[in-house]
Amino acid sequence: MQTATLISPQEYLEQEAQHDHKHEYHAGEIVAMAGAQLVHNILVANLIRLLGVCADDNGCLVLPSDMLLKLPECEKYVYPDVMIVCETPLLDDEHRQGLEVLLNPTVVIEVTSPSTALFDRTEKMECYLLLASLQQYVLVDSEKVDVITYTRSPQNQWIMQYFTQKTDKATIGDCELLLEDIYRKTGK
C-alpha cells in the first residue's frame, strides 16, 4: 500500500509561488488544476463582466480565478472561479511566499462541470460556508441553465434558491442578473 506524502501549508505556498500552473492545497495534499472547457470560461467571463459593473457601483471588487483563497477551518487553499469582496480585502500574512491569499470574500461563485460538480456541491461548499465573511455561495452549472444560490440570513441560516429558466433573475451579491445574460453565447 502506497501512502501520500503530505506537505505543510508553507511548503505548498513556496511551491505554488514558483509554479506556472495553479494547484490547490487540501489538508496536506496538492491537487493540480485542470484547464477549463470553453463554456466554463464563457460563463466565468460573463459573470465577471456582469458583476463587475454592478459591484463597482456598490464599492465591491470582483476577482477572477487567479486569486487564492484560504479556508482555514478545512486546511485548504483554493482558486474559486469568481469572488466578490465588499469589505477591505484581507490578505493572509502568514506563509505568504510571494503569493497574495485572500481571507474575506463576501461571495464565492463556482462554475460546475461533470468532473467538479460533486466536490463543489459537498466538501468545497461545506468549507466555504464556514467562512465568517461569506454571505453567499453560488453554483453555476456549465452543462445546463441551472444556478443555485446559498445566501446567509441575518439569523445565520443558509437559504437556498434554485433558478433554471433563462427568464429567471438571480441575486448575486447586490446584483440582480438575468440567467439569459449569464448563459449568453454558451449555446445553453
Angle among Cα 176, 159, 65 to the nearest 5 degrees reads: 60
DSSP class of 49: H
pTM: 0.91
64 lies in some domain: yes
d(CA 62, CA 38): 21
pLDDT-above-70 percentage for the chain: 95
Express each pLDDT in 43-96 by its tens digit.
999 999 999 989 888 889 999 999 999 999 999 999 999 999 999 999 988 656
Compute the mean pLDDT over every residue in the chain, rounded to the nearest whole number.
91
Residues in the chain, how many? 188
Asked, for residue 15, whether it belongs to a domain, the answer is no
Rounded Cα gap, residues 179 and 55, in angstroms: 17
End-to-end CA distance of the chain: 45
The pLDDT of 166-176, averaged and rounded, is: 96
Q: Which domain holds residue 161?
A: 36-182
**Residue 6 located in a structural domain:** no
Query: Based on the structure, what is the number of domains in the chain?
Result: 1
User: In CATH, what number is assigned to the domain containing residue 97?
Assistant: 3.90.1570.10
Per-residue pLDDT, 97: 65
Answer whether residue 187 is part of any domain. no
Which grid coordinates are listed for 156? 445565520
For residue range 93-125, list pLDDT tens digits in order: 865 667 899 999 999 999 999 888 888 898 899
Can you give the pLDDT at residue 49?
A: 96
Cell 474575506 sits on residue: 104
Q: What are phi and psi of 178, to 5 degrees?
A: -75, 130
